Chains A and B, each alone.
Chain A
Amino acid sequence: MSLLDASNPPAWLDGGSWTYPLGTDNQSRDVLSAILYGSRLSLFVGSLAVLLALLIGVTLGLLAGWCGGLTDTIIMRIADVKLSFPAILLALLIDGVVRGMLPRDAQSEIASYVLIAAIALSFWVQYARTVRASTLVERNKEYIQAARVIGVHPAKIVLGHLLPNVIGPILVIATINLALAILTEATLSFLGVGLPPTQPSLGTLIRNGNDYLFSGDWWISIFPGVVLAVLILSVNLLGDWLRDAFNPKLR
């Protein structure tokens, strides 16, 4: 990399070259390579966040729906409290707290994990609610009663009978959420409270490029933006396919 190559436009325009097909940013980093690395990181953060949210949400939802009574009330009130905070605010809060607790050097390394935790804690409620609602419905169905009459252990009933039948809508929500998680990560990084600028993600890339949009170096922001949009679209289509694949009636 040489600073002389800074702010090169994409290859097909004047001043560009095919060494850097999509141009370079102000610090002469190749936009294409940055996008490739960035997408990887965005996907990583997004998927893990959704997975964690799923784990928390589904578990709590099953517990609330199956046990009912006090357990249900407690879990749902916690969920209600969480819902009164917007996701971004919550992520900011968690991020701020962790920053305050850790020394500077450690911050960069674990920044992605803090971000994952923050996003997961913002998203779990919808899973919990959906699963709880489905559980309440399925719980009274006769195949569950049959399992109880047979004497099957409650844990086996919940995991073996209930879970496969309530997981359907969750998959669709999860894939939409994956898109949302990636977006949230991008937003937070854009705002400066997600990943540090040293770790490229689609969000930080867009952020970096934002300053240069109006000075004419549009490629630094636009390409990561386009890739973000395409990524989200593919994820949603994957979700539709997944849901159909899991439906035994359509096999």
Chain B
Amino acid sequence: MAEPETLLHVEELHRSFDVSLPAIERLMRGKKRATLKAVDGISFTMRRGETFALVGESGCGKSTVARLVVGLYRPTSGRVVFAGQELARLKSRKAAAPLRRRLQMIFQDPYASLNPRWQVKRIIAEPLRTHRLVASEAALRQRVAELLLQVRLSPVDGDKFPHEFSGGQRQRISIARALASNPEFLVCDEPTSALDVSVQAQILNLMKDLQRQLGLTYLFISHNLAVIYQMSDRVGVMYLGRLVEIASAERLFAAPRHPYTQLLLDTIPSIEITGREREPVGGEVPNPINPPPGCSFHPRCPFAYERCRRERPELIDVGGTLVACHAVEEDRLPQARAYTEYET
């Protein structure tokens, strides 16, 4: 059987934001221009049909990557290649339309992602209308009803307004809207972070079913490692705009390599371990406007030394996992702890 095709290829992606003070204030205070490097050299590939997760804490840039992939931001440098084409290079809206049809997004906040003044059927029909995918009003109604059923809502829900629905139901509406144009690829930006845990289970199950039924590919952004464990095939760990580890989910959870990944897995409040006593690693994520030189994790890393302060580590292949860490490269880390028995 042929290897599934590469659907998304991200190469040396950079995105900076100018966060300087307005010109006059800068002059008065004698400050320089300030740039925030939200995404600082990200590269990864995704195959059709897989779920690739990007995990990291706030400020790591994963949401910015999501928006870069889907075309809401233009890269400062680097490329986002979807199905062989670069969205950023397509100048006109018309040229970009066929690509946009195939690539959709689900957002985090179920309350802000639906226009509060539009009826649900209008919200779901918008992609259909924009891309002229149906010929008549009757066909439109039909399709909207199908989509509502697909996300396990009822066709009569189309006449209601978003505020009449709960958070979980709104997220279903968002999914229905994203599926309207029959996309192949969905970027999911923390789709269940704002939901209660039992509702989260419903939505995650729905997403898994849809992926199977429709052959979808997911770029799944989250800060919740447990959710990622359940949903993804491969995982990329981000810290301050860089990828520090990329591995299959099995390998990442069974044998995390990068000290930051180990920190994350260590600090998740876990149900299994009631009353556990532990001294968590100190420190906080530094200010992304002034990241530490060399390896951005070195101030918090128990294995950091001189080289880590000077030289930024590159991703190297260590037994199938890509890791960006000098200590790993030099084999200085103690034997990686097995965090879990991963079964499929």
Chain A residues with CB under 8 Å of chain B are 141-143, 145-153, 161, 164-165, 248-249
Contacts and interface: CB of A to CB of B under 8 A. Distances in A.
B115 interface: yes
Interface stretch (B103-111, B146-154, B261-269): B103-111
Given A142-B112, A146-B177, A248-B117, A151 B70 contact: no
Contact of A150 (B104, B108, B112): B104
A165 B117 contact: yes
Contacts of B71: 149
Nearest to B181: A150
B93 A146 contact: no
B335 interface: no
Top 8 A-B residue pairs of the complex, sorted by shortest distance between their CB atoms:
A142-B113, A151-B100, A142-B107, A164-B117, A142-B112, A143-B115, A141-B112, A150-B127
A149 B100 contact: yes
Contact of B105 (A146, A153, A161): A146
Contacts of B104: 149-150
Contact of A249 (B100, B114, B130, B163): B163
Contacts, number: 62
A152 B101 CA distance: 11
Contact of A145 (B72, B96, B118, B161): B72
Interface string B113-131: 1111110000000110011
A248 B130 contact: no
Given A142-B107, A248-B161, A165 B96 contact: no
A248 B115 contact: no
B97 interface: yes
B117 A146 contact: no
A153 B97 CA distance: 10
Interface string B182-206: 0000000000000000000000000
A146 B113 contact: yes
Contacts of A151: 93, 96-97, 100-101, 130-131
Contact of A153 (B67, B93, B177): B93
5 contacts: A142-B108, A145-B107, A148-B72, A149-B100, A151-B131
Contacts of B101: 151
B116 A248 contact: yes
Nearest to A168: B117
Interface string B78-109: 00000000000000010011001101110111
Classify chain B: how many residues form its interface, as a range: 20 to 34
A143 to B, nearest CB: 5
B100 A150 contact: yes
A50 B112 CA distance: 32
Nearest to A251: B161
B19 to A, nearest CB: 15
B181 A161 contact: no
Contacts of A150: 100, 104, 126-127, 130-131, 177, 181
B283 to A, nearest CB: 30
Nearest to B187: A149
A249 B105 CA distance: 27
Nearest to A246: B117
Residue among B116, B161, B181 with max Cβ neighbours from chain A (10 Å): B116
B72 A149 contact: yes
Nearest to A140: B112
Contacts of A152: 126, 130
A148 B72 CA distance: 7
Nearest to A141: B112
Given A146-B174, A165-B117, 7 more contacts: A141-B113, A142-B108, A146-B113, A147-B126, A148-B72, A150-B104, A151-B101
A138 to B, nearest CB: 9
Contacts of B108: 142
A76 to B, nearest CB: 13
Contacts of A248: 116-117, 161, 163
Nearest to B177: A146
A165 B100 CA distance: 25
Nearest to B160: A248
A146 B175 CA distance: 11
Contacts of B127: 150
Nearest to A152: B130
Contacts of B174: 146
Nearest to A144: B115
Contact of A165 (B70, B116, B126): B116
A88 B113 CA distance: 44
Contacts of B177: 146, 150
Residue among A153, A164, A165, A248 with max Cβ neighbours from chain B (10 Å): A248
B125 to A, nearest CB: 11
B340 to A, nearest CB: 34
A233 to B, nearest CB: 30
